[in-house]
Amino acid sequence: MEEMFCFQCQETMNETACTVQGMCGKSAACANLQDALIRASQYAALYDTASDEQLMNNLFMTITNANFSTADIRRAIEKTYTGKSVEELTREGCLKNRKETVRSLQELILYGLKGLCAYLSHAAVLGFRKAELSSFVRSTLVYLLEDHEQKEYLTLLDKTGEMGVQAMALLDEANTATYGQPEITTVSLETGSRPGILVSGHDLHDLKELLEQSRSQGIDIYTHGEMLPAHSYPEFKKYEHFKGNYGNAWWRQNEEFEAFNGPILMTTNCIIPVKDSYRQRIFTTGVVGYDGLEHIEAVNGRKDFRCIIELAKHCPAPQQLETGSVTGGFAHAQVMALQDQIVEAVKNGDIRQFIVMAGCDGRHASRSYYTDFARALPKDTVILTAGCAKYRYLKLDLGMINGIPRVLDAGQCNDSYSLVLIAEALKEAFGLQDINELPILYNIAWYEQKAVIVLLALLHLGVKNIHLGPTLPAFLSPEVVQWLKESYGIKTIQEVEKDMENFGITKREPSYGDMTMAELLKLDEGMEDVLHEAGFHCLGCPSAQLESLRDACELHALNVDEVCAAIREYRHE
């Protein structure tokens, strides 16, 4: 039996490595070819035998759950470098003989580079490129061919994070210049009576082409997984047949693709081993590959989706999985438009803390932690999220604070860049010197290599005390883990209650505006006089006592902030 060695994702076997078959489903042959493709890309960067686009797509192709096709990977190797056989390249890419700490640092940089290339690929499709970033990819691939001093790797790690920030900024520019600034949008989770096509992955350009080609065809288009944020871009709102979002995060696709009934288009990761029940109606494009599935290639920069559209017309409508809707569109421009409202809520105590819970979702049962954590947060906290980790809490009814949802979804995993800009804007608004002085905590879930580049970007920007879970990466050696803890305060997660203590998050009484009149009257004997003086004269009425102070103020045309200030003054707060 062919052996393999892969530990690049969070679900790696026994938190050590997959050595027979990948937990993701890839075969040992596929894993070894991916190693060979990386080595071929390194030689190609050294000898200049492949284009920037080829190198970028090669690394993107090896991201977890992107390409399972051994034929695709062999073709990519042949296009990239022919100076050595696949077998030689595979042997050279083996990790067994490397020193543990050197290997760990090399892999951390390489996986960050993979995530970087994914973002560069999306930007390039929209015509946005940056020579400095392409040059960095090449030089880093060459650098990783040889072993170096440990301190040199640490310098390169920070540089990789810096390039990650630039790549996310480039993709943000590409997306917003092409599709407009995301705006607050309510997205339906329900289905219609017409046949549909389900689009999964991250490639907005593919979605746009499909929407154009499927106009007036009697079918609807739905998003899945990380494609959900597309609904918040103004450009996509002109399509009447852009129906809503279907399903959840990538790992639930087997049951959801079965129930959808119509064709599915996989534009990027994550694809998982395909079931026979929907094998005849799932298509791949871009870097995605799976042996036996029809692949839609671009011809002169355009893709022809007619085969998918025609198949959809003969399929039943999707089976409804959920009712209701979700709200998104809270990228940096939209949140900055609400900045005054948010700053005021922080200053008056209605918002005490922001929790960044961005990142990836996955299959591990331990990831229920993130749902439990979100539920346990006090009502004066706001979650900032991006990536498919959102599916663990986006559909919970966590309420609002002064009209601001307690879950602000910035978008796809690369839109973690928005969270950085939001933090920087808040730092300026509060006149702080250091981003770590903000009332923002970081509890990030990771799964694959795009999360690695997001992490390195945050570390480059000086963010400290990130909690990373549900487990720390297996590719980090004990020495590297210790360095991350000492230098950046990196921690992993524990039980929800313990982490609430670790974060310094404690339950407290709701803000006065959210308390009922009855609750306020019980606080102090003199509270009735305070409320009378503020303008309330029906405090004995049972129905009035059930109202929140906020609702009562609205009913009596009183300013809730002024009443709360009077209460705080009376209680010497």
Q: What is the model's pLDDT at position 384?
A: 98
Domain range annotation of the chain: 13-179, 185-313, 325-503, 512-570
Which tokens is 568 given? 């705080």
Average pLDDT taken over every residue of the chain: 95
Q: What is the model's pLDDT at position 394?
A: 98
CATH topology of domain 185-313: Rossmann fold (3.40.50)
Q: Tell whether 427 is in a known binding site.
A: no
| Mean pLDDT in residue range 554-564 | 90
Q: Tell whether 114 is in a known binding site.
A: no
Minimum mean pLDDT among 98-102, 139-143, 244-248, 347-351: which range? Answer: 98-102
Cα 139 from Cα 470, distance rounded (Å): 33
- Tell me which of 1.10.3910.10, 3.40.1410.10, 3.40.50.800, 1.10.1040.10 is the CATH number of domain 512-570: 1.10.3910.10
Q: Which residue, among 278, 119, 296, has the nearest Cα to 207 in the 3D structure?
A: 296
Q: Tell whether 564 is in a known binding site.
A: no
- 198 with 220: CB under 8 angstroms? no
Helix 28-47 to helix 70-80 angle (10° resolution) is 20
Is 193 a residue whose pLDDT tops 60?
A: yes
Cα 169 from Cα 266, distance rounded (Å): 25
Other Cβ atoms closer than 10 A to 186: 13
Same topology for domains 185-313 and 512-570, yes or no? no
Is 510 a residue whose pLDDT tops 70?
A: no
Q: Tell whether 413 is in a known binding site.
A: yes
pLDDT over 90 percentage in the chain: 87
Q: Tell whether 450 is in a known binding site.
A: yes
**Of 541 and 543, which is predicted with more confidence?**
541
Write the pLDDT tens digit of every residue in 388-420: 999 999 999 999 999 999 999 999 999 999 999
- 197 with 262: CB under 8 angstroms? yes
Q: What is the model's pLDDT at position 95?
A: 56
In this structure, the strands spanning 196-200 and 264-266 are parallel
Is 573 a residue whose pLDDT tops 80?
A: no
Q: Tell whether 226 is in a known binding site.
A: yes
**Of 445 and 509, which is predicted with more confidence?**
445
Q: Tell whether 486 is in a known binding site.
A: no
Write the pLDDT tens digit of every residue in 205-254: 999 999 999 999 999 999 999 999 999 999 999 999 999 999 999 999 99
| Mean pLDDT in residue range 263-284 | 98
Q: Tell whether 491 is in a known binding site.
A: no
Q: Tell whether 202 is in a known binding site.
A: yes
| Mean pLDDT in residue range 49-75 | 98
Q: What is the model's pLDDT at position 423?
A: 96
Write the pLDDT tens digit of every residue in 376-396: 999 999 999 999 999 999 999
Q: Tell whether 151 is in a known binding site.
A: no
CATH topology of domain 325-503: Rossmann fold (3.40.50)
Q: What is the model's pLDDT at position 568?
A: 86
> Which of the four pLDDT bands, split at 50, 70 and 90, describes residue 558?
very high
Q: Tell whether 6 is in a known binding site.
A: yes
Report whether CATH 3.40.50.920 matches the domain 13-179: no
Q: What is the model's pLDDT at position 271?
A: 98
Is 569 a residue whose pLDDT tops 80?
A: yes
